[in-house]
Chains A and B, each alone.
Chain A
Amino acid sequence: MQTIDITLTINEQTHTLAVKPNDTLLEVVRDYLDLTGSKEGCGQGVCGSCTVLLDGHPVRACLTLALEADGSAVTTVEGLADGDILSPLQQSFIDHGAVQCGFCTPGMLISATALLKEQPHPDRKAVRKALSGNICRCTGYAKIVDAVEHAARPASGCPDCHTKDTGEDHD
């Protein structure tokens, strides 16, 4: 079968890969590069767990051909943290308990990162709209919306924004 060479800059690392025409960006990221943070849920653009940033915009990796992404910059969930230092958004997800099973979390983080880049202080409505393409079956969304809304601006009435890790053993 025909293979075509493409160049992708993934999380600021440039890769040259020989891909098949019917490889999706998600398959390339997961199967060729072992970046398994992006998940395949429905595989048909409904659930949002495969969301990645393509040239800064959120797109479904399962509905983007790898060939169409040739020459683009891709950010996956692995690219959000700086080494061991989590992004403020990722930390906020932990502080607010916005993760349960965690399957939707990579997509949620990517969609929310795209929102915060355009609107650093979004209101609740904007957060809900930006995350409307991501499905979560565990949390009921409230904690996720809290985490995104409070990521850049901790809210005074929110107990989760003021959780300080004291380093003490809690058990």
Chain B
Amino acid sequence: MSTNTELDQLFVKTRAENRAALIAYIPAGFPSQAGCHKVIEVLAKAGVDAIEIGYPYSDPVMDGPTIQAAATQALENGTGVTEVFAALKHATEQGVAAVVMTYWNPIEKYGAAKFAQAIADNGGSGVITPDLTIEESDEWRAAVNTSSINPIYVVAPSTKPERLVKVTDQCGGFIYAASLMGVTGARTGISSGAGELVARLRKVSNKPISVGLGVSNREQAKEVAAFADGVIVGSAFIKAIQDAPDEESGLAAVAHLASELAKGVREAR
């Protein structure tokens, strides 16, 4: 597969600039439909390179309490596939690369081919599917190829060497490296597993590698940016919004965190 999405172009650019890309995650419909769009604007303005729009799902087994709570709130706000694509479109209109991150069932329900085409039609670069194994991905692979978008799979510290080859072969845009064995959420320190996993990935693939799970501040972003092509931050942004007394200060907190993280990914090398 060969694609030339905004995401593909982003990593060409950041590699030329010898820095890591900053990727932010925000669920569609959180904290509200309009609020989500404002968060997207703030993130883009503060120096985020790419945005993952989360598709809030009723049974998010990969997510810790922070994202679970955000997903519940988003679902209560009536978020469905229409709102997800609207948020995606809004992100691409801010001039950043944008993808959707979703558990598999909403795609299956919507129809794989139709979903992939809608991503492309809304300017999206790809889809991260954390619970779609490569063994179950035949239909999806055909769909992303037809629509020329990036299929992004997650690999874990426990992924065995021969399997790393198989999964990374299927990845487009970037490889999502889970930094640790666990669910999403802020951690006090970056697991040593992250660097080891990226080193193992470098041996089998020259595709961009982004590290997610547990990155929440400038120091950690800097640490990860030293060895990864992309740094993914999700729960920390959500927590900034959840902890704020009102929307205004929540947006300010997001802007501050994003600009700090943007410095972090630029001062690592």
* B partners with A: no
